[in-house]
A and B are shown apart, each in its own frame.
Chain A
């Protein structure tokens, strides 16, 4: 059967070494010469949902509640849940089998709306500092946490997942995907940033879960 391919807004000039077709997406698992970090990983194929409602505290998903305060994030069961404001949250499914979106009006599938990128490595803070004034180094904030604002001049939702093995995950309008990836690669050039496949992210995620 012919596969009608789904395309990510991001494409790297590096040659993919391992790929797989998943839900019509051609997912790159590994790129040539990925180096030893920092890594930029395109995760645009991962499901992203928007949740909105007057009473977000009454909405649960897989028995998980949405964090109470704007800016709080929670990681668990492969999901990253970010409280954006009084009436809105976002859910990113980062690991495991793709789940069905709950049949509740409050949920909207926004996978197609945005690019989702991950930046992993010790130099995350230095690279991010070249792209945004959002303060990820604030010692008073406990990871994971969400900051919303300009990242490379574009409005984004950015989550710092962990301080020990730092990783930033962020999403912005899909149309900016190409320029966003280019600007991050340019910003990280002095630290040898390389595009990496999903396997690097999965490895990082599993380490974090352990």
Chain B
């Protein structure tokens, strides 16, 4: 196809060729082409097939308002050909076709519409229910858009930016550019977003005259657009982002968008979050589709599509065209296309009057037949358009015209998505026929054509007014200027009367209101007959507007059509809700560049080197185990019989100090914290207001009013706030410092632990000098300061060494060297889990859940009830629940058959009903049988009670019996050696 290559409006460079592949054939486009225009230039008219009926579909809107032009590019499905710029070497394939777009063997589905009325999948295929999976599979096979494999690797560079601005302008047409220049003129930082790859909007592709009577200089709209664009380029405080689609608006003017990069950018797509003090929405209008029979036939396209195809890309939409329009832009397009060489058989205008007389004169000059009050009635042609029937609005008269292109549009409709996302309520405006905001959200302004303005000067002045108003929101005093500009705007041409026409006088069986979901006017009728009376419900029942086009095509017509059925009911015409993202994009774009930030302990490298299987646990990456054995037998047995080291650096660690530090501790810990001493650790727990266990850890006193305490890993992030929150009404003087990352923690555990430690320090670590539950501070190798606690979480002699993080790696290696002759080895979280379970020690979150109190876990002894003045968090609830009946209790169990496997964590304990659940269960190597802990009803808590355990994976029951805990070393002798 030849290009018109001397147009002033052209945005392609015909001399720079690009090569791409389309279904195995090598094709050529030019620089600046979209994939859609390049395909069109290569005579592709059928881009794909429709979702349900496999109807041929072609170029329609040019802005990706429907799925007609979704194609697969380089393996990525559902790419919008209309908005994707062509690149060299692209491999393009059509979607939803069997064989080829021209000859689709599923095309017979178009004859099956009688079998698929509105909501057929809700009504027909669930009886009998057994057949539903079969139909589901068949429907999914037959329908759908692109296909992607679950393991598809998305290539490309995806990035993110979070810019700040005083004013964010959405829409780079004349109004948006003027608003941006005006706000920037006040010295403010401005961001301008434009979804197309260039600025200009409705001015960009038009050669109509701009301000013929002013300034005495004749300019075209296109020239004016480029003049404004140039001014923006030279404005130092304006950042313009083109090819950037706004996708969301949130509170406090947080605007989200994504930008498509070009060859010179460091990204293919990038996600944007813009924080602005004020926002101007100047997104203009899209066209409201005209509904008539076969309105989806390739060859039928919107006015802007045909006009831009020629003016922007140098491609004529066809040779013989018929126009059916509803606004003056349609008449302007007729003249331009005629002058470029398109033969125009006839122009039908749904408006009886109100056309621009100058445009009508020009039509007459060119002898183009013009029919007022006529509309497209039916498009004919088996695959592409061959003929069109026009009719009067009432359908009383018909005429037929041969043509290959039907340019059709019912009118314009504003792009109000950004406003509605910001919670603006829309109402129908009878003059413009637009849904316009009744009241704009705070610090948000609308400007331009979306308000119904048509005159270029009015559009720019409204932009200026919005720019000034937005600037005023940023603290600039502009009352006078705003008043003056408002007056200027009042003296210019106001909003024009819009066409309200929706559908031709047809039965609507093949009049598509939503191309994406193959929803017809008849389907809407069926939904109404079924009792659905609101567009929001009809949308769901018929799926109209739920496809990739995000309601772009049916968004305005659906409520208008529905309102025609409800003229007497008094229901207000309401458009359906729009939600972000307004324009769909890749998940990869949302994921951005670096999305997995995790914490590593200071001994991470040593553990990885030792074969640690590092897994994400909350914010940390931790060693789960050190071998392929998921039961970790050797790690566990080595701790029980020898010595092992565990990295416990993720524990929360805090310093709390100040005259009222003890009061704060007494408030949040259930124990008697006044007994905390300098040489001894005190184990205690924190509860929430309901007496449920929240956290546990140890506290030591390191000086006067100066304490060091630990928390569980999961609570480390919230502890400071928790304590401050519960002291918020007290005028206490205390401070807390989070030292979680400041100290690495090594748990040296096992009967030989002392032998290892003794090699590293001169300090006396004998049981006499440093007994169980003791706390000491000394130096390793006279250099490395450590805080050491004698603990017993895993049930063996244990030293927990808290070491400055920067020394952790070195100390870890020293311990490994010192323990080498003894056969020291690492143990990970899985081994620790079994070791502590054998000892009957709970892990919060494993043996407790939101409703589990201290009493339920048998930890009531930790609660010191004689400190009412402390107002300990949870104390009231602990008192109330102490003897409360029916609470689940923590129990230990062994399997009846010692040779059986252990039940899965979370399995339920049943008889005729659910009586509890298994918290953790593992095979104990020390006992050589499976053991576990469960939360069960108190009636099941007695020793030797038989438990029936049900797993979700099968019908077989497992049986266990309740036993006392701890399972291992019940006297605790091994901790005290």
Q: Which of A44, A153, A175 contacts B600 (CB 8 A)?
A: A175
Q: Does A53 contact B (CB under 8 A)?
A: yes
- List which B657-674 residues lie within 8 A (CB) of chain A: 657-658
Given contacts A4-B784, A7-B602, A112-B743, contact A54 B733 (CB under 8 A): yes
Given contacts A87-B735, A113-B741, contact A130 B161 (CB under 8 A): yes
List chain B residues, Cβ under 8 A from A187: 593-594
Of A28-36, A67-75, A176-184, A196-204, the one with at least 4 CB within 8 A of chain B:
A176-184
- What separation, in Å, do the CA atoms of A138 and B189 have in the docked complex? 9
Q: Does A189 contact B (CB under 8 A)?
A: yes
Of B627-635, B805-813, B895-903, the one with at least 4 CB within 8 A of chain A:
B805-813
Contact, CB under 8 Å: A186 / B805: no
Contact, CB under 8 Å: A133 / B593: no
Given contacts A4-B781, A138-B164, A183-B594, contact A112 B741 (CB under 8 A): yes
Some 22 contacts from A to B, beta carbons below 8 A apart, are A4-B784, A9-B600, A9-B602, A9-B805, A45-B806, A52-B736, A52-B737, A108-B739, A112-B739, A112-B805, A112-B806, A130-B160, A135-B164, A137-B189, A176-B597, A179-B598, A179-B600, A183-B593, A183-B594, A183-B597, A187-B593, A187-B594
Given contacts A4-B810, A190-B266, contact A173 B597 (CB under 8 A): no
Given contacts A113-B742, A154-B597, contact A6 B164 (CB under 8 A): no
- List which A100-150 residues lie within 8 A (CB) of chain B: 105-106, 108, 110-114, 129-133, 135, 137-139
- What separation, in Å, do the CA atoms of A54 and B730 have in the docked complex? 13
Q: Which of B599, B657, B706, B783 contacts A4 (CB 8 A)?
A: B783
Q: Which of B163, B594, B658, B783 contacts A179 (CB 8 A)?
A: B594
Q: Determine how close the nearest CB of chain B comes to the CB of A125; give it in whole angstroms.
A: 10
Chain B CB count within 10 A is highest, among A54, A112, A138, for A112
Q: Does B409 contact A (CB under 8 A)?
A: no
* Nearest CB in chain B to that of A187: its residue: B593
* Nearest CB in chain A to that of B744: its residue: A112
Q: Does A5 contact B (CB under 8 A)?
A: yes
Given contacts A7-B602, A9-B602, A132-B162, contact A186 B594 (CB under 8 A): yes
Q: Does A163 contact B (CB under 8 A)?
A: no
List chain B residues, Cβ under 8 A from A139: 189
Given contacts A4-B807, A7-B806, contact A174 B602 (CB under 8 A): yes
Q: Which of B595, B619, B739 contacts A110 (CB 8 A)?
A: B739
Contact, CB under 8 Å: B164 / A137: yes
Contact, CB under 8 Å: A130 / B593: yes
Contact, CB under 8 Å: A113 / B739: yes
Q: Does B640 contact A (CB under 8 A)?
A: no
- What separation, in Å, do the CA atoms of A69 and B118 have in the docked complex? 64
Q: Does B601 contact A (CB under 8 A)?
A: yes
Contact, CB under 8 Å: A173 / B741: yes
Q: Which of A114, A131, A179, A182 contacts B741 (CB 8 A)?
A: A114
* Nearest CB in chain A to that of B270: its residue: A130
Q: A7-B806, A105-B705, A132-B162 are in contact. List 16 more A-B contacts (CB 8 A).
A: A2-B781, A4-B810, A105-B657, A110-B742, A112-B741, A113-B741, A113-B805, A114-B741, A129-B161, A130-B159, A130-B593, A174-B805, A175-B601, A175-B619, A179-B594, A179-B598
List chain B residues, Cβ under 8 A from A131: 162
Q: Determine how close the nearest CB of chain B comes to the CB of A188; give it in whole angstroms.
A: 10
List chain A residues, Cβ under 8 A from B600: 9, 175, 177-179
* Nearest CB in chain A to that of B596: its residue: A179
Secondary structure class of chain B's binding surface, majority of residues: mixed
Contact count band on B: 35 or more
Q: Determine how close the nearest CB of chain B comes to the CB of A187; give it in whole angstroms.
A: 7
- What separation, in Å, do the CA atoms of A5 and B706 have in the docked complex? 29
Q: Does B738 contact A (CB under 8 A)?
A: yes
Contact, CB under 8 Å: A129 / B743: no
Contact, CB under 8 Å: B807 / A6: yes
Q: Determine how close the nearest CB of chain A comes to the CB of B807; give it in whole angstroms.
A: 6
List chain A residues, Cβ under 8 A from B273: 133
Given contacts A152-B594, A190-B266, contact A50 B737 (CB under 8 A): yes
Contact, CB under 8 Å: A129 / B162: yes
Q: Does B31 contact A (CB under 8 A)?
A: no
- What separation, in Å, do the CA atoms of A183 and B593 have in the docked complex? 8
Q: Determine how close the nearest CB of chain B comes to the CB of A186; give it in whole angstroms.
A: 6
- List which B873-928 residues lie within 8 A (CB) of chain A: none
* Nearest CB in chain A to that of B266: its residue: A190
Q: Determine how close the nearest CB of chain B comes to the CB of A37; give it in whole angstroms.
A: 17
The digit string for A8-32, where 1 denotes a CB below 8 A from any CB of B, is 1100000000000000110000000
- List which A52-95 residues lie within 8 A (CB) of chain B: 52-54, 87-88
- What separation, in Å, do the CA atoms of A147 and B434 have in the docked complex? 44
Given contacts A6-B806, A189-B266, contact A174 B741 (CB under 8 A): yes
- What separation, in Å, do the CA atoms of A53 and B657 have in the docked complex? 10
- List which B796-812 residues lie within 8 A (CB) of chain A: 804-810
- What separation, in Å, do the CA atoms of A32 and B784 have in the docked complex? 31
Q: Does B620 contact A (CB under 8 A)?
A: yes
Contact, CB under 8 Å: B162 / A133: yes
Contact, CB under 8 Å: B806 / A176: no
Q: Does B275 contact A (CB under 8 A)?
A: yes
List chain B residues, Cβ under 8 A from A44: 806
* Nearest CB in chain B to that of A5: its residue: B810
- What separation, in Å, do the CA atoms of A117 and B367 have in the docked complex? 74
Q: Does B655 contact A (CB under 8 A)?
A: yes
List chain A residues, Cβ under 8 A from B735: 52-53, 87-88, 106
List chain A residues, Cβ under 8 A from B783: 4, 24
List chain A residues, Cβ under 8 A from B658: 53, 105
Chain B CB count within 10 A is highest, among A9, A175, A177, for A175
Given contacts A7-B602, A135-B164, contact A152 B657 (CB under 8 A): no
* Nearest CB in chain A to that of B780: its residue: A4
Q: Does B740 contact A (CB under 8 A)?
A: yes
List chain A residues, Cβ under 8 A from B737: 50, 52, 108, 110
- What separation, in Å, do the CA atoms of A183 and B597 have in the docked complex? 9
- What separation, in Å, do the CA atoms of A110 and B737 have in the docked complex? 9
The digit string for B262-273, where 1 denotes a CB below 8 A from any CB of A, is 000010000001
Contact, CB under 8 Å: A25 / B275: no
List chain B residues, Cβ under 8 A from A173: 599, 740-741
Contact, CB under 8 Å: B809 / A7: yes
Q: Determine how close the nearest CB of chain A comes to the CB of B739; give it in whole angstroms.
A: 6
List chain B residues, Cβ under 8 A from A114: 741
- What separation, in Å, do the CA atoms of A45 and B706 have in the docked complex? 26
Q: Determine how close the nearest CB of chain A comes to the CB of B518; give it in whole angstroms.
A: 42
* Nearest CB in chain B to that of A135: its residue: B164
Contact, CB under 8 Å: A133 / B597: no
* Nearest CB in chain B to that of A126: its residue: B161
- What separation, in Å, do the CA atoms of A88 and B658 have in the docked complex? 14
Chain B CB count within 10 A is highest, among A7, A129, A138, A152, for A7
List chain A residues, Cβ under 8 A from B595: 153
Chain B CB count within 10 A is highest, among A87, A113, A187, for A113
Contact, CB under 8 Å: A179 / B597: yes
